Structures are given as structure tokens and as C-alpha cells.
């Protein structure tokens, strides 16, 4: 079931949560909607579920327009950030709820619930069906919530920051799990998150949103390596921003000159990732294919896998990661020209 939205607008007072959003969610694919809080991603998801009625625009599930259809009749299944399991029901009753609404006969209901609990790998936890959600860990609760959503074989699976309440280790495991399940079931899934790493890791396609609009959409690789705006580049990774002026053959950052061959002219924003740059002590020259910035190393933090260096360049503080520590003092920062993104400011 492919899902399309066309020109969605939703206003809350004077704020536009959705400001003309059009996009397509491919059938059987997992699409991540990524963006900072307040960008409209949750409103978009809730409008797909039918909890939010849009002011303008159309929502299509396949050929069927569902814009005005009630949440009950949309055939979506949602996984909530805070699990939203019913605390007064057992795990079994939670999962069986949707099937009971559909008047599934008892024997079939039992086998389907058991099967889906196995699928989310919680069926083997002893007596899990008879337990209350509160007796399970956060990760287990979210598995149950996934089971509750999947057991009714929904047309579209909606996930609203499903992992953001879990601690880092469980989050990483469950992330792979969600991906495995979605592929195994072959369901169209929309996954909302503010975590860029999660979006890149889990999705077939990433949609980046900001201020109620779609900023960029594409495969994770595309979005990561070719961000089309300063916002996208900044949001997708630990990034540095420098203000500069772009000319036909060079970039000026303060008093420093960098090589440039791109299309931007005039005031520009330069963006590069902390991991793409390198830093070395002293006043060495630029390596071939690299832009060179001189600055002063002020601070250095050990992050475990890398050292993060804070370098003062033309009044801005840049972050540069490196495997080897560099001592504070005058340094040069090298950025591969290919990794230096330049946008009109």
C-alpha cells in the first residue's frame, strides 16, 4: 500500500504545523520523517492516523482518499512514544484487543496473538501473556506495542518516536529489530524521529522536515552525503558552520582564502562535518584537494572513539574529530574540498 499526501496544511492558531506538505511513501518501504522538535513531523504522522484533521490537502492510501475518514476506519496501526499499552489489561488482552474488535474466532485469535508475540521475540518470556505491561521493561513494552499494531495486519504502520524513551543500548537493539520486522512483514511504514542517526540506520527513504515543510527527501546515503541546504547539512551530523564570501575561484573566510569552484556567489555558509576534517599542530601547508584553515586549538575532549578538538577560526569555534590528540596552540584544520559544502547565505 503506497501512501501519498498532497499539499497538507494544518494550522494551530497562527502557527502552521504543516505548511503545504506533499510526499509519497513507497509501498513496503520504511520511510523516516526526520526533523527537530516542532517541525511538524508528528502532526504529519497523526494526520496519517486520522487523529489530526488537516485544514487543506489530500491523503491517499493507494487509490483511496482517506482525508476525511475517521481514525477507526483508516486501517493504520500506530506505535506510540510512551508505548500506550493499557495498564489494566494483560499483555495478551492488549495484543488481542484489535482482533476482538474484528470478531476473530477464539482459536484463531489465540494462535495469531501467540504468533505475533513470537515474531517480536517476546513469546518465550515465561507467562508473558498473563503479565501486566507495568511488569515488563521499557524495551519489552515497546515490543508488545509493536505486536499489538502488527497483529491486525494494518495497511500502514505508523511509528511515533518509538525508541526515544529507551536507553541507548536497548534503542540500538530494538532499532535493528524494528527494521527486521518491517522487512519480514513487508508493510509500508512511516517512522518519525528526531534522531538523525536512527533515521539513517533504519530507513529506505528519509524525509527531512523543518518548520512545517519538507526540506529534502531521498535515500539515507543521498541525504547524508548531498544535503541540499545549510539546514539539512547542519541537521545531519556534527557539523561546523562558517560565514564567508564565495567568488568565482575562491572562498574568503575572514582574512583567509580557500580554493573554490562551485556555483555560489556572494555571502555564503560553509559547512563541514567534524569527522571529515583533520587537525594538526603548527603552520603546515594544504594537502592536495584540501582547504586549509588556520586557527587556535582551545580545548580537547576525549569521547572514547575519538578526540574532539575545539578550534577557534576567525571568531568561530569549529569541532574537529581525530584519532590522535593534538595539543592546544596554533593549528591548521584541513577539510577535503569535496566534503566542504557551500550554500548561499
Partner 1 sequence: MTTSVGPRADVFVRTTLRMAGAVLVAFVIFAPLSSLVIWSFTRRWSWPHPFPQELGLFYWRKVLEGDLLRALESGFLIAVIVTAATLVLTVPLAYLLARYPVPGKAVILLVFLLPHAFPQLPVFVNATTLLYRVNLAASLSGVVLIHMVGALVYAVWTMTAVFRSIPESLEEAAWNLGASRLKTFRTVALPLATPGLIASTLLVFLYSLDEFTGTLLVGSPFVLTLPVYMYRTSVGYELQVASIAALILMLPGLALLVVLERYLKSEYLSMFGRL
Size of the site for partner 1 (CB under 8 A): 23
Binding of residue 98 to partner 1 (CB under 8 A): yes
Mark the segment that binds partner 1 (CB under 8 A) among 25-33, 97-105, 276-284, 295-303: 97-105
Binding of residue 258 to partner 1 (CB under 8 A): no
- CA 278-281-285 angle, to 5 degrees, is 75
Mark the segment that binds partner 1 (CB under 8 A) among 81-89, 121-129, 217-225, 277-285: 81-89
Residue nearer to partner 1 on the CB measure, 77 or 178: 77
Residue 75 C-beta: closest distance to partner 1, Å: 8
Determine which residue in the list 82, 250, 257, 339 makes contact with partner 1, applying CB under 8 A: 82
Grid coordinates given for 35? 526533523
Q: Is the Cβ–Cβ distance between 160 and 192 less than 8 Å?
A: yes
Site for partner 1 in 46-65 (CB under 8 A): 49, 51
Residue nearer to partner 1 on the CB measure, 185 or 211: 185
Binding mask 102-141 for partner 1 (x = CB under 8 A): x---------------------------------------
To the nearest 10 degrees (0 to 180), the angle between helices 91-101 and 138-150 is 20
Binding mask 149-188 for partner 1 (x = CB under 8 A): ---x------------------------------------
Binding of residue 190 to partner 1 (CB under 8 A): no
Q: Where are the beta strands (DSSP E) in 211-255?
A: 213-218, 239-246, 250-253
Exposure string (b/e) for 48-84, b if CB count within 10 Å is 16 or more?
bbbebebeebebebeeeebbeeebeebbbbbbbbebe
Work out the burial of residue 193: count CB atoms within 10 Å of its CB; fewer than 13 is exposed, 13-18 middle, 19 or more buried.
buried
329-336/278-281 β-pairing: antiparallel
| CA dist 76 → 52, 70, 73, 304 (Å) | 14, 11, 8, 42
Residues that bind partner 1 (CB under 8 A): 49, 51, 70-73, 76-78, 80-82, 84-88, 97-98, 101-102, 148, 152
Amino acid at each position: 500500500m503506497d501512501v501519498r499526501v498532497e499539499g497538507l496544511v494544518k494550522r494551530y492558531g497562527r502557527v502552521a504545523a504543516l505548511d503545504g506538505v506533499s510526499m509519497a511513501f513507497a509501498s513496503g518501504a520504511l520511510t523516516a520523517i526526520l526533523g527537530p522538535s516542532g517541525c511538524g513531523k508528528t502532526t504529519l504522522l497523526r494526520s496519517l492516523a486520522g487523529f489530526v484533521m488537516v485544514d487543506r490537502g489530500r491523503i491517499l492510501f493507494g487509490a483511496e482518499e482517506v482525508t476525511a475518514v475517521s481514525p477507526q476506519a483508516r486501517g493504520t496501526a500506530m506505535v506510540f512514544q510512551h508505548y500506550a499499552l493499557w495498564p489494566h489489561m494483560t499483555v495478551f488482552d492488549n495484543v488481542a484487543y484489535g482482533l476482538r474488535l474484528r470478531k476473530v474466532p477464539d482459536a484463531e485469535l489465540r494462535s495469531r496473538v501467540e504468533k505475533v508475540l513470537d515474531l517480536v521475540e517476546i513469546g518465550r518470556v515465561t507467562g508473558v501473556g498473563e503479565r501486566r505491561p507495568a511488569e515488563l521493561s521499557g524495551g519489552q513494552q515497546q515490543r508488545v506495542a509493536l505486536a499489538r499494531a502488527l497483529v491486525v495486519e494494518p495497511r500502514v504502520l505508523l511509528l511515533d518516536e518509538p525508541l526515544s524513551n529507551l536507553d541507548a543500548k536497548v534503542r540500538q537493539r530494538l532499532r535493528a529489530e524494528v527494521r527486521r520486522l518491517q522487512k519480514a512483514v513487508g508493510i509500508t511504514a512511516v517512522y518519525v524521529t528526531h534522531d538523525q542517526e536512527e533515521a539513517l540506520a533504519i530507513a529506505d527513504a528519509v524525509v527531512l522536515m523543518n518548520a512545517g515543510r519538507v526540506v529534502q527527501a531521498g535515500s539515507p546515503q543521498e541525504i547524508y552525503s548531498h544535503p541540499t541546504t545549510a539546514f539539512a547539512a547542519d541537521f545531519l551530523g556534527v557539523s561546523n558552520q562558517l560565514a564567508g564570501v564565495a567568488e568565482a575561484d575562491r572562498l574568503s573566510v575572514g582574512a583567509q582564502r580557500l580554493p573554490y569552484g562551485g556555483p555560489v556567489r556572494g555571502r555564503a555558509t560553509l559547512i563541514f562535518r567534524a569527522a571529515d576534517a583533520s587537525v594538526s599542530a603548527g603552520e603546515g601547508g594544504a594537502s592536495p584537494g584540501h582547504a586549509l584553515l588556520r586557527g587556535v586549538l582551545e580545548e580537547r575532549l576525549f569521547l572514547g572513539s575519538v578526540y574532539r578538538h575545539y578550534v577557534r577560526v576567525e571568531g568561530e569555534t569549529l569541532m574537529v574529530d581525530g584519532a590522535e590528540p593534538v595539543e592546544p596552540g596554533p593549528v591548521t584544520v584541513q577539510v577535503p574540498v569535496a566534503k566542504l559544502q557551500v550554500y548561499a547565505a
